[in-house]
Amino acid sequence: MPKAVVLHKHPNGTIQESDFAVADVPKPVLKEGFFITRNSVISLDAGFRAWMNAGAGDNYLQGMQIGDPVQSIVLGEVVESANSDYPVGTIVNARTAWEEYSLLDGSDLCAPLEPASDLPLAEYMATLGPTGMTAWVGLFEIGKPQANDVVVVSAAGGAVGTVVGQLAKAAGCRTIGLTSSAEKAQWLVESVGFDAAISRESDPDLLTALLREAPDGINLFFDNVGGAVLNDAMGHLAENARLVLCGAISQYETAPQSVTNCWELITKRARMEGFMFSDYADQFPAILADLEQRMRDGTLKSFDQQYVGIEKTAQAFCDMMQGRSRGKCLVVLE
Ligand X SMILES: NC(=O)c1ccc[n+]([C@@H]2O[C@H](COP(=O)([O-])OP(=O)(O)OC[C@H]3O[C@@H](n4cnc5c(N)ncnc54)[C@H](OP(=O)(O)O)[C@@H]3O)[C@@H](O)[C@H]2O)c1
Binding site for ligand X (CB under 6 A): 45-47, 131, 134, 155, 157-161, 179-180, 184, 224-225, 246-250, 275-277, 320-321, 323, 329
Residue 67, phi then psi, degrees to nearest 5: 95, -15
* Closest separation in Å from C-beta 304 to ligand X: 10
Dist. CA 292–CA 220, nearest whole Å: 25
Dist. CA 271–CA 197, nearest whole Å: 24
Nearer to ligand X, 11 or 47 (CB): 47
| 8 Å CB contact between 177 and 202 | no
In sign, the C-alpha dihedral spanning 225, 231, 232, 237 is positive
Nearer to ligand X, 76 or 161 (CB): 161
Nearer to ligand X, 35 or 307 (CB): 307
Dist. CA 318–CA 296, nearest whole Å: 32
Dist. CA 45–CA 331, nearest whole Å: 11
Nearer to ligand X, 7 or 36 (CB): 7
Nearer to ligand X, 173 or 330 (CB): 330
* Closest separation in Å from C-beta 104 to ligand X: 21
Q: Which residues contact 205 (CB under 8 A, 6 or more apart)?
A: none
* Closest separation in Å from C-beta 95 to ligand X: 12
Nearer to ligand X, 36 or 329 (CB): 329
* Closest separation in Å from C-beta 320 to ligand X: 5
Strand partners, 37: 78, 102
* Closest separation in Å from C-beta 286 to ligand X: 17
Dist. CA 20–CA 8, nearest whole Å: 5
In sign, the C-alpha dihedral spanning 65, 71, 77, 78 is positive
| 8 Å CB contact between 270 and 242 | yes
CB atoms within 10 A of CB 108: 12
Nearer to ligand X, 27 or 324 (CB): 324
* Closest separation in Å from C-beta 298 to ligand X: 22
Element (H, E) at 136: helix 130-136
Nearest one of 262, 220, 224 to 240, comparing CA atoms: 220
* Closest separation in Å from C-beta 89 to ligand X: 29
